Structure 1
Amino acid sequence: MDSSRLFSSSSPMLSDRPPTRDGDELIQPLESADLRGFWDNAPRVSASPSTHGATSHSDDPKAVAKSLHDLVVKVVDKKAHKGAKAVGQTAQEFCDLYETQDVAARSAFLDLLSREFCKPRGTASDAARAYLDSTSHSDEPAQSALQAHVLRDSLTPLYADLFDQINRLPEGFAFLVHMRTDMLGLIRTGGKSSAIQAMSDFLMRRLQMWIVGTLDLKRITWNSPACTIEKLEQYESVHAVRSWMDIKRRLGNGRRCFGFFHRNAPREPLIFVWVALTDVIPDNVQSILLEREQPKSSEANAKCAIFYSISSQVGLARVDLGNFLIKRVVSVLRTEMPNIETFCTLSPLPRFRSWLDKLLSPESLVSPPQDIGISESEQNNLISRVPGAKTWTAALKNLVDRRGWTADPEAVDAMEPVIRLLGAHYLTKVKRGTGSSAADPVANFHLRNGSCLHRVNWRGDTSYHGLRQSLGLMCNYNYVLDRIEDNSESYVADGTIAISGTDPYIARVQSLAKAKL
């Protein structure tokens, strides 16, 4: 199999052109002192995506919603305007007003938009009858195709006209991504309704359609525009950026950052990935995040490209760009650095702790599960760390619920084999619902892309966030280039998880599963 074609462009939204570098587009490079001043003086952006761009507060959200409503009417009412220019100006007025509002005003308007403009453009019943008549009484396929188009158009909600007009504006695509972020925020905070959900899903499908053929891959460097670097901090969702020095390290020698940019918003990454160039596959993310910048010559000796974080804008949830981004970056790195032999991730297990909490139910504290495969000596070592504990599950729950357990080296040593085995079991055996897909969303993403589960890493992320979501557990997914297509097909077909490497805990889980057959 020719592995090179796996990472060539087969989609119209991608190209084989090398990525442009934002820094190369600047007439005068952004100096370190300038960027430090920018970080020192920049306002901190709220973690809530629903506050994007909000600069004013409305005393009467309903009045603002009414003003926005009137502008929408002008956009969707074909008789209320003359010419595309007038429609574009009205759509721009809408965007300008929307961006200045606070969360309350935006929420009130989105609720109004989802309810009052969800009606179809035309009379669907008449269009449906015409379509059925054309298929029953006409021998002309073109007539049926025309009526099918009329039917689809009649079923399209009115707010589609608003979205279409905004998408035609400069940076309109980015505005719609942020607008969908507000919709998702409203859904998450208890404002969920079938109308809001339907509008969010409709806009998601529109974004997915519009994005084809509009993306450019760029390498983001220390000399990229400050506004682009600010977005890295704002949208990073895996390993939080603490300061401008974090960014400088992540963009230094031995590091790479690549992102997809929409051509109408060339300085705002829609999705981006951080890459570390290393000698070996790392088992700890702090060694990447906190390592001092390496000399430029070290890149020539690197053997591994490690994808340690990938983040996209919230408004693009369920728009699959990550798969394309990783494959494009692999293609670029293979061309730029032929010394790189391994393409691997260092990935979190975002739902491991919540799964473990359910596993350690009151019933299991008395009668532990028997399908994990924890040895008797591992159970006894864990129990010995908690006076009075009768089972390994009770001892483990006591330890993980205890504040400061990471400062007890003997407890950490006793927990390691148990947690690593539980992690291997969780990744390979725990499924989503009644299907065959991995329950962990990050695992499902990489396995669908064709990677191999390589290794489970104890104390892979010792930050507060890492300990809280997975007790510090991380794992590596290895993109073995000549196995990617077969791995992906097998996983999608029946949930088969490809394995690489010799992780003893993954091997134990596999052996236990084979013994039960």
Structure 2
Amino acid sequence: MSVLSDVLDLVFRRTMKSPATPAGDSRSLADLIDELLSSKGEISGLVTAQRILDRYAAMNDTEKAAFFGYLADDLDIDHALVESTLEPLWKKPDQRAYDAFMAAVEPRRQELARRLNRVPNATRQLVEMRADLLRLLPPDDPRMRIDCDFRHLFASWFNRGFLVLRRISWESPADILEKIIRYEAVHAISSWEELRRRVAPEDRRCFAFFHPAMPGEPLIFVEVALTKGIASSVQALLSEVHPPLAADQADTAIFYSISNCQPGLAGISFGNSLIKQVVNDLAAELPQLSTFATLSPMPLFSRWLSGQGLSPERLTNPQLLCAAAQYLMSAQRDGGRHYDPVARFHLGNGALVHAVHADADLSERGQRESCGVMTNYLYDLSSIEQNHERFANQRQVNASQQVRTLAQSFQSIGGLQDA
């Protein structure tokens, strides 16, 4: 099958370059899509698919929004067909009836995406197409129902079984290193020298997930500092003058930055698998490591404080820590989801809230978003699954005794509610 795929790919590329191939195609995009969906030939289908992708790439935002309207309306589910297949399924739920029903409930745009994805490099283009969708349409736009199809397909295409974990080092290709600088979303990398400090020293690691269909594009990456003890300041971790530590002398791995790289894969979860894989790999490489923890931001903490009628400027550090513990233990959105997205991510992965630290992020962003407070989430390998189940099923936040005590003190600190 691999040889056949290579041959078809070679023929396709020659077909696209052949002088016999028309330079332009006057047919409408709808006609091209109809031809692709009805095509039986492999090469002709690839040629048509490439033309569709090229046509989309040349569109402006207004045309792209109209294209999404076409996908939503003209390639939607045929409700009458669904209804006609449902009754036979109820009467006789055999394979034939089930197959007919499943074919009816799948919108034609899913098959369009599959056929487009046969073109070399099309996976990246489809990811960018979804990024356009999320950028151009508001969440309540009726056309956004097509995002259900993107998410359904991407959840399969980017399944953990297809992902490849690679370590990013100073010897990695320059284009990959450049993308690490560009995609860093937590603690900005201002220069190549700063990047070198994060990936070159023996006590620093960076790992990324890649997909075989997008080999030059990291999907998500995590930066790790090997330390003695659990870190309480990101500035200390990122300092230009931090004393080097031999990797085999470290007892702790601190995950201090996790960045998703592809806007078109928003909501497709990689972080859970990434952290667990990195923990396993580091534990195998450095068996003396006994602690795996994060040093994480609380990006909505300042907003939550304001919603509680509290003024961050008038709170002392002890009061801030009590408020931060309360925020991590109890703050929820409508529907019972945890208020903080970073907390939601780590608690959902099975971590527990280990500690909170004042003056942990002195950057302008850290002061603005979280009053400089950061938290450690601890990944205890013996309790990850149990913690995950409790958080997922009961919304129970697992935390150290220190954090629970701080949260209990939140209401009792004199003058806090009048600050």
Is the 8 Å Cα contact of residues 36 and 45 (structure 2) preserved in structure 1?
no
* Counterpart position of 1:92: 50
**Cα-to-partner distance string for 1:469-497 (whole Å, 9 max, x where unaligned):** 11111100001111111111112222222
Partner of residue 201 from structure 1, selected from 148, 157, 161: 148
Alpha-carbon separation, structure 2, partners of 1:424 and 1:123: 51
Is the 8 Å Cα contact of residues 72 and 146 (structure 2) preserved in structure 1?
no
Query: Would the alpha carbon gap of residues 120 and 218 (structure 1) be closer, same or farther in structure 2, given more than 3 Å must change?
Result: same
- What is the one-letter code of the residue matched to 2:98? A
2:129 aligned with 1:174: no
2:305 aligned with 1:356: yes
> Cα RMSD between the aligned structures?
2.6
- What is the one-letter code of the residue matched to 1:206? L
Is the 8 Å Cα contact of residues 256 and 295 (structure 2) preserved in structure 1?
yes
2:73 aligned with 1:131: no
Aligned with 2:299: secondary structure?
Answer: coil
Aligned with 2:316: secondary structure?
Answer: helix
Partner of residue 509 from structure 1, selected from 407, 412, 416: 407
Aligned with 1:181: secondary structure?
Answer: helix
Is the 8 Å Cα contact of residues 222 and 259 (structure 2) preserved in structure 1?
yes
Is the 8 Å Cα contact of residues 82 and 105 (structure 2) preserved in structure 1?
no
- What is the one-letter code of the residue matched to 1:184? L
Partner of residue 213 from structure 2, selected from 255, 261, 264: 264
Query: Would the alpha carbon gap of residues 501 and 276 (structure 1) be closer, same or farther in structure 2, given more than 3 Å must change?
Result: farther
Query: Would the alpha carbon gap of residues 100 and 473 (structure 1) be closer, same or farther in structure 2, given more than 3 Å must change?
Result: farther
* Counterpart position of 1:442: 342
* Counterpart position of 2:328: 427
Aligned with 2:229: secondary structure?
Answer: coil
* Counterpart position of 1:306: 254
* Counterpart position of 1:108: 63
- What is the one-letter code of the residue matched to 2:146? M
* Counterpart position of 2:169: 221
In the TM superposition, residue 116 of structure 1 has moved relative to its aligned partner by: 5.0
Partner of residue 333 from structure 1, selected from 282, 285, 289: 282
Q: TM-score, normalized by length of structure 2?
A: 0.84
Query: Would the alpha carbon gap of residues 502 and 79 (structure 1) be closer, same or farther in structure 2, given more than 3 Å must change?
Result: closer
In the TM superposition, residue 248 of structure 1 has moved relative to its aligned partner by: 0.9
Is the 8 Å Cα contact of residues 461 and 467 (structure 1) preserved in structure 2?
yes
Query: Would the alpha carbon gap of residues 98 and 235 (structure 1) be closer, same or farther in structure 2, given more than 3 Å must change?
Result: farther
In the TM superposition, residue 458 of structure 1 has moved relative to its aligned partner by: 0.7
- What is the one-letter code of the residue matched to 2:300? R
Gaps of 5+ in 2: 1-24, 413-419
Query: Would the alpha carbon gap of residues 166 and 115 (structure 1) be closer, same or farther in structure 2, given more than 3 Å must change?
Result: closer
Alpha-carbon separation, structure 1, partners of 2:37 and 2:405: 69
- What is the one-letter code of the residue matched to 1:161? E
Alpha-carbon separation, structure 1, partners of 2:119 and 2:82: 31
- What is the one-letter code of the residue matched to 1:179? M
Aligned with 1:348: secondary structure?
Answer: coil
Query: Would the alpha carbon gap of residues 472 and 72 (structure 1) be closer, same or farther in structure 2, given more than 3 Å must change?
Result: farther
* Counterpart position of 1:452: 352
Alpha-carbon separation, structure 2, partners of 1:204 and 1:455: 35
2:385 aligned with 1:488: no
- What is the one-letter code of the residue matched to 1:91? A
Alpha-carbon separation, structure 1, partners of 2:384 and 2:411: 24
Higher RCO (C-alpha 8 Å, min separation 6):
1
**Cα-to-partner distance string for 1:253-310 (whole Å, 9 max, x where unaligned):** 1111111111111121111111111111111111122244765x61111111111111
- What is the one-letter code of the residue matched to 2:174? A
* Counterpart position of 2:5: none
Is the 8 Å Cα contact of residues 184 and 315 (structure 1) preserved in structure 2?
yes
> In the TM superposition, what are the counterparts of 1:326-475 in structure 2 within 5 Å?
326-360=275-309, 393=310, 396=311, 399=313, 415-435=316-336, 437-475=337-375
In the TM superposition, residue 445 of structure 1 has moved relative to its aligned partner by: 1.1
- What is the one-letter code of the residue matched to 1:429? S
Gaps of 5+ in 1: 1-66, 361-392, 401-413
Alpha-carbon separation, structure 1, partners of 2:180 and 2:74: 38
Is the 8 Å Cα contact of residues 69 and 109 (structure 1) preserved in structure 2?
no
**Cα-to-partner distance string for 1:45-88 (whole Å, 9 max, x where unaligned):** xxxxxxxxxxxxxxxxxxxxxx9993453234357755121221
**Cα-to-partner distance string for 1:8-46 (whole Å, 9 max, x where unaligned):** xxxxxxxxxxxxxxxxxxxxxxxxxxxxxxxxxxxxxxx
